[in-house]
Every structure is written in structure tokens, then in C-alpha cells.
Structure 1
Amino acid sequence: MASNNTPVSAQQPTMRRVLKMSEDEIKKQIRSTHNQTKQKLDFDPFYLFDVVKNILNPSIIVVDNIVQGKAKDMEKGNQGESSPKACFIPPCMLKRLSYEMACKVPGEEIAYETTISILRNVLSSYPWHVKAVLTLASFALDYGEFSHLADQIDSSDQLTKSLGILKQVPIVLGRQGVEKYKNSFGKLNTLIKLTLDVVECVVELEKRIDGNNTKDVPELSLAIENMSIDVFWTIITVVDCMSRICALINDKNNTQELLPFTGKITSILKSLTDQIAVCDRQIAEIKAYLKFKRDLESLQDIVEFFKKLIFVEESHNLQQATISNNELSKKTEGLRKKKVLLFFSDFDISEKVVSILKPICEEESRKDQYEIVWIPIVKNWTDIVQSKCKVNEKYFWYVVRQFSSVLGIKYVKEQWGFKDKPIVVVLSSEAKVEHKDAFHMIQTWGIEAYPFTFERERELRNREDWFGSTIDFIPDVLTWMKEEKYIFLYGGEETWIKKFEDEATKVTNDPDISSEEISIKLFNVGKTCKAKDYLGIFLKNLNKLFFSKSQKETELDTKTKEIQMLLSYMNDGEGWVVLCKGHKLVFSGNGTKVVMALKSINDGKQGLHKSTEIQVLLKQRYNEIILPVTCCKFTANTNSGWVHGDCAKCPECSQIMEMIINFKCCHKGHPTKAVP
């Protein structure tokens, strides 16, 4: 075998440079060695690792006993994890790997070059955990044989003695060699044991990766990301150990100090051990949650469902969640055989939210048919939080105080989409979900939304008077709609508004209109109001209705088209117009074309005496005008259904961010027509 004549001091500068390489530098180097096309394995790497442990664990004990002068450990053969399988055939590249590592001059630079060569030329197409197992298995062949011969150094068996002489075992671990190389072999054995433990951690993490989803066990994502760098340090350490054994065998007069891989491997072992502990905790949590979810959804009684959700007992070392509220526990019996509306929110409910739910809470005619339960979801139940909650408790007969069940809150967030914004989950008396969030439905239609189901919402959305619910927050408009008047709602730039109001006023003042006792009102939605942002609220209502329909309907109906077109007109900037009769939308259009259409009506004076044809005539004149306008394009805001979990939170303040989605048709420009 080759001898090492390089002074240790000459190696130190290189040693310091390589060990101080950043992870990014190392990843960049080893990324090019890895072939993404997975090699089809003709062996079981997990079983191969069991065989490696069966070799290295007793080998380490043998060498330790010899170095420390202890008697032979007759039980060393039982240290392995499993018995060899007759059908197991070690892969042929173990010999090739052994050849790659054999007789190398000790030194970090050589170890680094050898490691890169092994990764590129021998193991490139294997998964990272398999690279580590194969390299350690190759080392185990040589070290296992060496330690086995050392254990039989005093044997009378001529074959064993002769093999030991060829391997120079008596020189290194004979009586004289032990004293000379005691310190070096002690450090080497420690490093081999640490490396074996690191590979075991890598194998254990891979087993968890194979059996779990990284979405459920986030720590596995970090393990996958770091596995290549951990395996790199494992292989370079194995290469270094092999070169040290060769050096100890050949260098009779110079004991070799080990390179400082021990510190690196120790650090990696601690990191991997911590990762496994976190993964196991997360796996226990997801198993507990899935069991909780399965048990909860199997219940067919609202009281049992409610108790399971709120008063759940949790285990697996998860956060304990108990609610000492005997009064509420007794009152839950009052929920039996009733529809239950679970109102989830933050602890601080605005007056606006209270005003939306108050009519539902105070509705006497259906009080025996449903109940509302307020369940504040709060991270930390401080005294201040509890005092603020008590202020709002007067509005609700049922209130859950200090709801802190880890599994219950997780279920509410994942299954019902709670994201700090108020939601109302509707459950039947048989504990079946009838609506995952009826809050907007109640906000829009009030008690008319009863029984608060998906089916009832579909009915309300598809009614002819759906538009009225988006604009009836304006007192004047609400009054006019109740009186079944025609109403022009509009907004845009000041210059355009003046033109529109001039033409629209001429129409409203036309003698034929007056003689038919037709009343047409004008309302500038975009006009500034000190009390309320009318345009902002109107847009918000349109957005909610659009997303509500788009997430529940698969086909584009006329009402959804109307909403899309109106949002697109409002996006144009110059101007937009809506004509409604009572609560019904009868026309909407682009501001420029509407002004031209009204001017055409005023100039022609045709058909205004027929009240039923006002919107018909406006549509007719509107569609006669050909203008090159852009196709449908609008921006919509939403806070639900598109981005989940922490991805929707602001990285600075952790509040849920408003999502803005742009819709833009791919066509360039063409004439637009009013939706028929």
C-alpha cells in the first residue's frame, strides 16, 4: 500500500479551506454529479444497511476491546439488527467503491477529490440515501474483515494467521502496535461509530419521506433539502477513515492525527437527530388529527359533534386543550335536534359584524329551529382578550370561552377555511355540513337566507332581483328600488360624468317619459361620501358575489356574465353605467358608448312613450354603436379559496393579506354588446 510522506503541516491550509466551504458552495459542486434519472435498484438499501450495522457494530466493539486491553466480548455477534437473508446479493459496485477509496494518501484535498469522483463516476444515478449506504457498506467489507482478523490474532488457525499477516494486522493491533496506535485507532473508531449513526439517521429520514406527505410533515422538506449535503460529508468522512487505516498499516514510525471531520459529523448527527424528533412529532400530530377528523365526521348527532369539536381530549404529547365551562357543557343539550350556526371569528367583533348577525340571533319566529354559537379563535387567551370577549357575549346565547383545542382549531381552518375573517358554518341536527360559510349569505339576504344552506344560496343568487343585494346599502337607492323606479347607477371620470348626466337628464325630463308617469333616478356611486365609501362597498359586494358563484358554478350563466362585464366596464376608468328597475338589473354598459346611445335616443325621440321599452331601446342603440374597445379585463379581490395556510399571511405582521386577481381576455380588441 502507498505510504504517506506529506508533512501534516503542509496539509493544514487546504484542510482549513475545504472544511470552511459554505453549504451553497458544496451543493453547487455536488449538484453536477447527481443524475436525476433514478437507478432501478436490484437490492433493498434498508436491508443492506441492516447488514452493514451487523458488521460495523461488532467490529467497533472488537477494536475498542483490543485498544483498551479488554477481554473478548463473546456476545459481540449479537449486536446486529437482523439476520442475513439467503437471497440477498450485495451489489457489485461495493468492490469498485472499495477500489476507489483504497490506498489514498491521507489529506482533506485527496478525500474531497475522491468523494467527488465517487459521486460522479460510481453513484451518480442513485438516490442520496442509497449513495451513503453503499459507500458505508463498501467500507464495512474492509473494516469488518480487518477487525475480524484482529479478533483472531492469537488463533492457531493457519488460514486466519496468514490472512492477518497479509493485512498487516499484527503490526497495527499486535501487542507493540496497540501501544503505538492506541490513540489514533481510538479516534478512528469513534469517528466510524458517529458516521454509522449519521447514515442510520439518513435511512430513518428516508423511511419517513417514503411514508408521509411533506405538506403534512413540513420538517421532511428541510430533510430532503439538506440530504445531499449530509451525504456528502458522510462519504468524505468514510473516504478519510479508509485512508487513515491504510496510513496506520503502512506508516510504522509516524502516527497520523485524524482530520477534524469528527466535529462536522457530530454536528450533522445532532441536527439529524433533532430533525427526526421533529418529524416524529409532526407525524404523531397528523395521525392524531386524521383520527380526530375521521371520528368527528362519523358522528350523526349535533350535540356529540359539538362536544367532540370543542371538548376534545388530545394526546401524543400535543398541546393539551381543555375548556372548563360547565355551564356551556350543560347548555349544549339545548342544541339537540336543532340546526346549529357555528360563528367563528377573532375575539374583537366589529359593530358591523354584530349588526349583520343580530337580526338572526333575535329572530323569534324560528328560535326553536336553529341556534347560533360564537366560538372566538384566539392565539393567547390573555385577561385583556377575555374581557373584550365578554363585551360581545351579550349578543349570543351560546359562547365558547377559551377554545384552544389544537385539533379542533386545525379542523376549522383546514376543512372550513377559517382565516381570521368571520365565517358561519351551518350544521344540521344530524351534524352534516349544510354550508361551510353562510356569513356573506346572511350579510346579503338576512333572515331571508334561512335555512342557510348551499341550496338556498343558489336559489337567492339565481333570482331575478339578485343585483339589488349588491347596492341596497345606499339609503336613497334602497328606497327607489322598493318603489320599483328606474335607477341609473354610474361612476367614472369627472368629464365623462358631466356628459352622461347631461344626456341622462334629458331622457328623464322628456315629456313622453313624464306622461307615462315613469320615474328615472340618477345616482353617482363614485361620488365621495363622508360616511361611507359607496363605490368601494359596491365593488366589494360584486367581488364577493362573483367569487361565490365562480367557486360553486361550473358553467358561465347570464348573471355571472353581467358581473364580469360590469367589473370590466368599471375597470376601463372613463365611465360605467348600470340601469336597474327596482332590484333588477336591466342594462349595464361602457360609459362612452352609453353616452353616445343616450344622445342618439335624445336626438331621435323614438319610442320613449313606451315604458317597457326604455331598457330595450337603450340596448338597441348601444349595440348599434361600433367602437374598438378592449375585451373583458378586470381585477377582483378575495380572501378565500385560492391560497391556503401561511402562504396567505403577510411576512411582516402575519395578518391575512388581501388577494388581488387579474382577469384579462387574450383577444385584442373588438366591438362589445350589452348582455342580452
Structure 2
Amino acid sequence: MNSLLAQYLRPHSISSMQDDVLIKELFLSHDPDGRRLDSEQVLRAMENIMCYATASEVPVSDEHVDAFAMNNASNIEVVGSQEPLGHTICKIAREILCKCSGEGDLHTRTMIVFDLVGNYRWDAKVVLVLAAFATSYGEFWLIMQLYPRNLLAVSVAMLKQLPCNVSMLKPRFKALSLLVKAMVENGDVCRNPNSNAIAAWELSSFLGVSELKDNMVILLVSKPELLPLEKLFLLVHQTYDHPHNKNLEGSYKIVWVPISSSETWTDVEERNFELFSCSLPWYSVRQPQLLNSAVVNLIKQEWNFKEEPIMVVLDSQGMVTNSNALDMVLIWGARGYPFSVTREIELWQEEDWTLPLMIDEIHPLLNKWVQEGRNICLYGSENKDWIIEFNAKMMEIRRLGLQVDMVFVGVKNPSEQVRNVLATINQEMHTTLLSFTEIQFFWYRLESIRKSKLRLGKVADTDHTLREVSALLNTEDSDNGWAVFGKGWPPDIVRLQGMQLMECLNLFPDWGGNVARRGLVGAIRNALGLAVSSEPCSHPNVLHYAEGSPEGIVVCEKCKRLLKMFVVYE
């Protein structure tokens, strides 16, 4: 079967076009019905046969017989099938042997075998065919080793019309022995539990890059134009320039697998591939235009690749640990290593809706403000009149003594109007922290947060982070703007928009005096009655006191209720 799968990745020609037809028929024959087979046990028994048959022509003594083969081989069952395993292997072997004389074409003979194993998973198909071959091969050598000393062996050899002298077949046996040895040494390919692994293994072999051997590999599958340039810059930053990358240097490799939207690559797609493959810091598939259509179809079907790019994570054994880690990478960068689904779940257990989650690594000065615990206001809109009004009100409040740093983040899918707003802010306030590109980074990050949460099955009704990020992503059509107030620590933040936001700012003379005691977010919540409950929450929180930190009321970052305070001295 490996020889058939290996043809997936050959350049297209007349013969490979015929191979395409055969491979498509093979996929059509794949109709798993839930039956399960312990492929590991069958493979172990097959390996024993191959090793004993090729090791020597001298019979193996009882003391060398594998205890596994004696105790477990006969107990192998097929769950979900009425047919015993031995019958299935016998039928496959019979089809192989009956066609050895050359009757029928290769296409027909191959399809007969695949039809017999159509209801099994891919790993079981491989193992069953190998087991059928091993059974026939082992029977042959068992008879030949006993012949001519054993009369029973002589009689069976005569009925099977086996040759009396096999010396003339020694070159063929030697070649077959080498093949068998290679099959046994590469037995891990057969142990892979699904077609994901088969596709990954075949694709990796097509790359032919020795640096990938025994490494964790991330396959970046996309159209030849890859990504919008800004999102591409963010991806490069998160995978190569992120501060955590220095601790992971060489731990994983990224390989770009471009796939055309149609069966024939256009000149534009060719130029895009040449440009990006030479400019970006990752490996790429050689001549992706020649990828066999069966591999392309497998990627689309098994990894659910459509038009949007995906990042498929393979461990050092070629097993798929995450069918799409792109959003995870855009959110956490190298912190997400090893980029498995398990790691993604772990990271979300550590995260909540905070400023660091929203802005991680977008701008170094912004990160510095967060680390210093400064009050920060993120605000957005593309309505120039609203921006002018909002900034005027905030400048007035800052003159009254409120220390808060302003960061304009525009809107989702920023247009030229946002560029005009940036120019206006620079003129009115003489500074804007984020560039147009960094604003796009911010919104790409929020999109990835929402996609990651949804892919893990979260819903906005019960997930605070998903609810808040969805609210921001849905503000694009509003003429009025919004603002998020918060700081790095304590991590609580509050989002206001429209009339509620302006009402809050107009009331600053009433609540501004509470900022020193409650903190900016606490004072805003108190002024607008936003605290969920006055009853203390039950979430465990340990807050380390830092000089200058507000004392008194602190809100739980998870449920937004007040924390009951206990002082612990270390």
C-alpha cells in the first residue's frame, strides 16, 4: 500500500494521470463502518513471521519462540465484524496469489484487494494486506525449510507445485528480503491511526528536507497568495520574532504548502509562490504545482482546508496533534508550543479577558505601560466627529488629574477612513501610539481569540472572554465609538460604548475622587452600578501587594464580583 500512496506525490504525466484515477477509486472504496482491529497486535505477529522467515533456513527452536506470538496472536479480534480475522486475511491472500500469474491488469487486482478491506480504517487496511502477504510468505518458507526431510512437506510442496530447487530464485529472495526488512523497519507508518498521519507522512517524504527529520513540523496550508500582508507580518512576528522564541530555537519547523484554488495554477499564483517562498523564513514544498490531486483532496477532506489558511501540527512521529493551530499561534506565539489542542486548552485555563490578552506584543511601549500598571484606555471608531468629541472630553478629564494613556485602535477591517482619523488624532493630540498596520494586528488578534474559543466549543452565554471579544468585533457598524479602561494589574477591565461611555465621562467630577481608593475600573463600575453582585465570590485569588496599589475593593477577574479580603503575611 505504501508503494501506491507514494505515487500521490509524483509529478503529473500520462502514467500519473492513470494513477490519479486509481487513487480516486481507492478513496471511493474507503467506507469505514466502525469496525476496529488491534493493528499493533497484527503488525507484531506479521513482523515475527518476516523476521523468522528471512533470518535463516534453519527452523527456530522452541526456546526462541516469541511469547507474544504464542499467547496473544490467536486472541486478536475484529470488533464490529461478524467475519473472523483469519477469514479476512485468507481471502486477501487468495486474491493476491490467484493474480500472481499475471491474470488481469494491476488496476483491477488492486481494486479487488481494496474492496475486501473497504470497511476498515486506513491503518487496518495496511496491516491486513501486509498480514496476508506475510502469511503466504511464511507458509512458503515453512514448507521449504522442512523439504525434503519431511514427507508431509514434500506432499504439500508437490500439490502447491513449489519448485524442488530454489537456488535459481535466490536473487529474487534476496531482493524480497531487503524489501521485507524495509517494511519491518518502517512499521511505524502502519501504526498511525488515521489517514491524517498517512497524508502527513507522504507529504513529508515529498519535501525531502533532512532538517525536518525527528522534528515537530507545522504545515502552513494556504492559497499561493498566502495571507494579507499585515496578517502575514503578524504571523512571522509570532513565530520568529516573539520574545519566547529564543527559548525554542530549533524545536519546530514550519513548512508552507500552497494549494491553488483551481486544478491549474495561474501565472499570478506562480509569481506569488516564487515571491513568498524566497522571502519568508520557513520551508516550502518544492514545485507545489505538481502535487498529486489525491494529496490535495486528502488535505481538503481530512484537514478541512477550504480557502482560509490552516496550520497542521505534526509531532516528531508524524502524528497530527492539532488540525489547525493558526489562531493559537496568532494569539500566543511561541508560548503555545507544542501547539497541540491540549496546550490550547491549558492556555485558556490560565487566561481571562485582560489587557495583556488583548494587546500582547503589538507594541513594546504598550507592553511597558501594562507592566508598569498604568491606566490605559483603548478606544475605537471610524466616526471622526465622535473621535474629536471623545478626545476633547478625555483631555479635559486628564487636566483634572486622571492619569490615563490613550490608545486608538480603530475598527475591525480598518479602511482609509481610519487613516484619516489617525491623522486627525495626531493633529489634535500630537500623538498616536499604534500605526495603521498595528491596528490591523490588534483586530486580527481579537478575531483569533474568538475563533479559538468557538473551535473549542465555547459559547458567549457562559464564556466571559468570548462574550466580550464578540461584542468588540460586532461594533464595526456603530456610529458611536467604544472604550475599554483597565491596567495590567489588577487585571479587571471594563468596556463602555455609545451613550453609556459619554455619560460616564460627564460624571467624572462625581466619581473621580474614588479612583485613588478603588482604582480607575473600580470607580467606573461603582459610578455606573456595573458590579455584578455585592456578595463576595468564591474564586481563589492571591493578590501580591505592590507599592502604590489601590487598597480596599477588588473585583474578581472571572465573575466580576467583589473579592473578600484576607491579609496573609509571608
What TM-score do you get using the length of structure 2 for normalisation?
0.48
Larger radius of gyration: 1
Return the structure number with greater relative CO, CA threshold 8 A, min gap 6: 2
